[in-house]
Amino acid sequence: MKKRCPWVNLKNPLYIEYHDNEWGRPVHDDRHLFEMMVLEGAQAGLSWETVLKKRAHYKKCFANFDPKKVANFSTEKIENLLKDPGLIRNRLKINSAVSNASCFLEVQKEFDSFDSYLWGFMNGKPLFTKDLKTWKDYPTDTDLSKKISKDLKKRGFSFVGSTIIYAYMQAVGLMNDHSVDCYLYGKKIRSLSRKA
C-alpha cells in the first residue's frame, strides 16, 4: 500500500484522488487558479474534506469558475446561492468569491494572466519543504504566504489571509509539501494540465 501524507483520510477515495493527482502539482491555468482561490476561501474554518465533497456543485453554481461570469453575478444570483444547501452558505465567503473574481480580472489585465502574477513570486519554480513528518510539522503560513496575502489584499481581494494563501500555495503547487514518508516525496511532480 502506498504511503501518503498524514492529512489524507485514507477512507475517502475523493481525498486520495485529490492528494495523488492534484495537490502540490504546479497549476498554470487561470481558471483552475481561480477555482482553487474560491474553494480555499470557502474552506476557511472548515475541513478541506467538506469542500471536496461540494466541489462539483460549486463548479456548477459558479459558472465553471469562469471569473468573468462570476464577477457579473447579480444580487439575486448571490441570494439564490445563499439558499443552496449544496454550497457553504456563508454570505461573506460567497460575496468574497464574487468580488475576488473582479480583482482576479484586474490582475489578468495587468500581468496578462493570473498565472504570471502568482508564479512571479516564485521566480517560476515551486519550493520544496523538507522534513515534514507529522501534522505538527506543517507550517500554517510563511513569510512568502504573508507577502502574497498582503499584495492580494492591497489589490482588493478578501479571504486571502496568510494561512489561506499558504493552503492555496500548496493546492496549486507553489509549494511541494509532501511528507517524508509519502510516496510522492522528493519527486519532481509534473504540472497539472486540466481543460476547464
42-46-49 Cα angle (round to 5): 90
Query: Catalytic residue among 48, 49, 138, 185, which?
Result: 48
Q: In sequence order, what E strands does 48-128 have?
A: 127-128
119 is catalytic: no
40 is catalytic: yes
What is the rounded distance in angstroms from the CA atom of residue 153 to the CA atom of residue 129? 26
What is the rounded distance in angstroms from the CA atom of residue 196 to the CA atom of residue 159? 24
- Within 8 A by CB and 6+ apart from 57, the residues are 84, 86, 87
18 is catalytic: yes
Lookup: cell for 13:
477515495
Query: Catalytic residue among 15, 35, 40, 119, which?
Result: 40
Q: Which residues are catalytic?
A: 18, 40, 48
